[in-house]
Amino acid sequence: MSTMNISLPDPMKSWVEDQAKSGRYANSSDYVRDLIRRDRLRHEAMVEIQAAVDAGLASGPATPLDREVFKSRMRAQHAGK
The full set of domain ranges for the chain reads: 10-79
Q: Which of 43, 38, 45, 47 is nearest to 19 (CA)?
A: 38
The answer on pLDDT for 80 being more than 90 is no
The answer on pLDDT for 7 being more than 70 is yes
pLDDT in tens, 11-47: 999 999 999 999 999 999 999 999 999 999 999 999 9
pLDDT in tens, 37-78: 999 999 999 999 999 999 999 999 999 999 999 999 999 998
Q: What is the pTM of this model?
A: 0.70
31 in Cβ contact with 19 (< 8 Å):
yes
